[in-house]
Amino acid sequence: MKEFNYTITDPEGIHARPAGLFVKAAAAYPCNVTIAKDGKEVDAKRILGVMSLGVKQGMEVTIKCDGDQEDTAVAELEKFMKENL
Amino acid sequence: MFKEFSGKSVFGGIAIGKICIYRKQDNLVKRQKIDDPEAEIARFDKAREDAKAQLQGLHDKALKEVGEANAMVFEVHQMMLDDLDYVESVQNIIRTQQVNAEFATATTGDNFSEMFASMDDDYMRERAADVKDISNRVVAILSGNEGGGFNATEPSILLAEDLAPSETVQLDKSMVLSFVTHLGSTNSHTAILARTMNIPALIGIDFPEDADGHMGIVDGFEGKFYIDPSEELLAEYQAKLDKELEKQRLLQELKGKENVTLDGTKINLYANIGSVKDVADVLKNDAGGIGLFRSEFLYLESSTYPSEEEQFKAYKTVAENMAGKKVIIRTLDIGADKQVDYFDLGKEDNPALGYRAIRICLDRVDIFKTQLRALYRASYYGKISIMFPMIISVDEVKKIKEIVAEVKKELDEQNIPYGEVETGIMIETPAAVWMSEELAQEVDFFSIGTNDLTQYTLAIDRQNPKLDAINDTHHPAILKSIETTIKNGHKGGAWVGICGELGADPTLTETFLRMGVDELSVSPSRILAVRDVIRKIDLSK
């Protein structure tokens, strides 16, 4: 299992549009991907769950990848977060 | 089956075309026991696929029309429909409760939307609406209750029970030839929209449901509506329509001419607009400026508070397109009949007398400041004036000026440039009329909003169709109020304009000119007609 932490810099947080992009990015990998905030962890491939975290600017999230291609997934998702969120 | 109806006209003109009935989305869901859950789940899956296909269509349309960022919402809706939490919840309800797919979908939609709504965060409340939206779409497909809204494929006569402001915002206006409603009053938003679009509109028409797709004629002059007219009637109206178009063509020749009376009195003739798109009509009809730019559209069309940047762009676009001509922008005027969900204003017993317009802005100063910053920033790119609605006291104006001073100070500190901005107030309450002498000391101009001024002076709810008969817009109390306001405005050094519906009433143009009004602001489509009236008046007689 691989994981990383990231603090959201986008002033709007993980809103509908970026949430959609993020879920799409996560769904591209065969491994399990989760995203957690304040101890609440959800499946990163399910958009309603991701939205339900209500992530805003300045909040830290933890993303975990477990399974096939977890190395690539972690690297690519971290890059995605930095570019989009 | 020829049918003839009589109603009340809210705007004149002739329209001939196909009838299209606007249907409200009505998804009353019944809980029904079913025997075969798997078949029910198959129905749900099929409806879900159809819904996704519809959303893909909307996505592609939006992509072409409004760009990728705005089209993304439809993609997100598709993803929500694929979300396993959502799908599994529907399947579980069908299996465990042995109920129909409609009920399971609606229940799931309600559960998720309640979860989002309870998160007590403006953004999350919007997501609640998203989940409701996708669930409604699936339920509509399941129950064969589709085709809500206005789905005309050619310019048509729109028939509706009634239309809410939020519904008119979403209409494809290029497809509407005329508005015909059962309910609504002469001052409803549909009526105002008809005037802006310069198309005939009738109210009080109890049309039959099977009129959809039939041929129709709207006579906005006589208040008549015909379904399946005879060949002769059609020919008669086609001739009338041609004459009407000819009259409008003649008015076009008044373009470029001055708004001057026979004896040489000149006044400013400006246009009222409700969105950035209307600027084209303002220029096309040769208005000297914009006398009322309603900023509400920014809030009504958005699903959350519009950012300073979004507002700045809209104001800047208008100021630049008007190329140095005056643009008077009215600050946020919501509340009463203009409701915006995310403001969460709550229900009021007397909304017209309630929490609205400047009262909200002075209470929620952050929202007000965002708008003021955007306005001042945009003023660098053109000639912007700012006008404040629903004023009742000098105190309010002083508070506004303090906030404006703070905004300007912040911009100075950040080295952000802004232009010279005239500030004015709407005179639309009897209190403002009575205080007009004192108020004139505080501002550069007055703009008389006759719609609300009439409502508040006569104590007649403009939304109530039962009162239309006694709603006398030419009531002497209104005319006296206007006269007093003009006189007191001038005494205090403020110029005075009229931006309500009365400003475009050709039977009063001479009266207003004699009172000494400096400006009239009317719908773009009325500019040339009012100019025609002005040029025939002789005040020396």
Question: Which tens digit of pLDDT belongs to each residue from B397-420?
Answer: 999 999 999 999 999 999 999 999
Indicate whether B456 belongs to any domain.
yes
Last-in-domain residue among B116, B142, B168: B142
Q: How confident is the model at residue B187 (pLDDT cuts 50, 70, 90)?
A: low
Indicate whether B541 belongs to any domain.
no
Closest residue by Cα to residue B126 from A32, A12, A42 = A12
pLDDT on residue B65: 64
- Residue B468 and residue B399 in one domain: yes
Share of chain B above pLDDT 70, in %: 94
Answer yes or no: are the C-beta atoms of B16 and B194 closer than 8 Å.
no
Q: B539 in contact with A at a CB cutoff of 8 Å?
A: no
d(CA B458, CA B471): 8
- Residue B312 and residue B338 in one domain: yes
Q: What is the CATH number of the domain that holds B444?
A: 3.20.20.60
Closest residue by Cα to residue B350 from B337, B332, B341 = B337
Searching chain B, which residue's CA lies closest to the CA of residue A19?
Answer: B76
The pair phi, psi for residue B311, each rounded to 5°, is -65, -45
User: Which residues in chain A are closer than 8 Å to B123, comparing Cβ atoms?
Assistant: 12-13, 15, 54
- Chain B interface disruption, residue of A34, A51, A56, most B CBs within 10 A: A51
Q: Rounded mean pLDDT of B475-504?
A: 96
- Residue B382 and residue B459 in one domain: yes
Answer yes or no: are the C-beta atoms of B304 and B326 closer than 8 Å.
no
**Active site members of A:** 15
Which pair of tokens denotes residue B352? Answer: 């017209």
Spell out the residues 6+ positions from residue B230 whose beta carbon is closer than 8 angstroms to its own: B2
Q: How confident is the model at residue A16 (pLDDT cuts 50, 70, 90)?
A: low
Q: B66 in contact with A at a CB cutoff of 8 Å?
A: no
Instruction: Determine the 3-state secondary structure of B498 from DSSP.
Output: strand
User: Which residues in chain B are closer than 8 Å to A22, comparing Cβ atoms?
Assistant: none
Indicate whether B229 belongs to any domain.
yes
Answer yes or no: are the C-beta atoms of B10 and B108 closer than 8 Å.
no
Please give the distance of CA B204 from its chain centroid, rounded to a whole number: 21
Nearest-5° Cα angle at B193, B390 to B459: 40
Q: B367 in contact with A at a CB cutoff of 8 Å?
A: no
> Which of residues 116 through 145 in chain B touch A, CB cutoff 8 A?
116, 119, 121, 123-124, 126-127, 130-131
**Structural domain A2-84, CATH architecture:** 2-Layer Sandwich (3.30)
Q: Work out how many domains chain B is built from and give that number.
A: 3
Searching chain B, which residue's CA lies closest to the CA of residue A13?
Answer: B123
When mean pLDDT is compared across B183-187, B238-242, B355-359, the lowest value belongs to B183-187
Q: A20 in contact with B at a CB cutoff of 8 Å?
A: yes
- Chain B interface disruption, residue of A14, A46, A59, most B CBs within 10 A: A46
- Residue B334 and residue B378 in one domain: yes
Measured between CB atoms, which of B69, B79, B115 is closest to A23? B79
Last-in-domain residue among B102, B122, B142: B142
Indicate whether B90 belongs to any domain.
yes
Model confidence at B146: pLDDT above 70: no
Model confidence at B525: pLDDT above 60: yes
Q: Map out the domains of chain A as residue ranges.
A: 2-84
Instruction: Determine the 3-state secondary structure of B24 from DSSP.
Output: coil
pLDDT on residue B26: 58
Q: A24 in contact with B at a CB cutoff of 8 Å?
A: yes
The yes-or-no answer on residue B189 being catalytic is yes
- Residue B136 and residue B163 in one domain: no
Place of tokens 């950040």: B414
Instruction: Report chain B's mean pLDDT, rounded to a whole number.
Output: 89
Measured between CB atoms, which of B72, B84, B116 is closest to A17? B72
Question: How close is the nearest chain A Cα to the Cα of B52, in Å?
Answer: 15
Q: Which sign, positive or negative, has the C-alpha torsion B323, B326, B327, B331?
A: positive
- Residue B177 and residue B315 in one domain: no
Question: Which tens digit of pLDDT belongs to each residue from B115-142?
Answer: 887 776 666 766 777 788 888 888 888 8
- Residue B409 and residue B503 in one domain: yes
Model confidence at B488: pLDDT above 90: yes
- Residue B200 and residue B278 in one domain: no
Q: How confident is the model at residue B81 (pLDDT cuts 50, 70, 90)?
A: very high
The pair phi, psi for residue B174, each rounded to 5°, is -70, -10
Indicate whether B539 belongs to any domain.
no
Last-in-domain residue among B142, B176, B195: B142
Share of chain B above pLDDT 90, in %: 60
Q: B79 in contact with A at a CB cutoff of 8 Å?
A: yes
Spell out the residues 6+ positions from residue B23 whose beta carbon is closer than 8 angstroms to its own: B147, B148, B149
Q: Rounded mean pLDDT of B172-188?
A: 82
Model confidence at B167: pLDDT above 70: no
- Residue B448 and residue B302 in one domain: yes
Q: Which domain holds residue B160?
A: 3-24+149-250
Indicate whether B313 belongs to any domain.
yes
Question: Which tens digit of pLDDT belongs to each residue from B268-310?
Answer: 999 999 988 888 889 888 999 999 999 998 998 888 899 999 9
B306 DSSP assignment: P
Measured between CB atoms, which of B73, B115, B126 is closest to A52? B115
- Count other Cβ atoms within 10 Å, centred on residue B49: 12
Question: Which tens digit of pLDDT belongs to each residue from B3-36?
Answer: 999 999 888 899 999 999 887 765 567 888 889 9
- Residue B108 and residue B43 in one domain: yes
d(CA A56, CA B478): 51
Q: What is the CATH number of the domain that holds B200?
A: 3.50.30.10
- Residue B304 and residue B422 in one domain: yes
- Residue B437 and residue B402 in one domain: yes
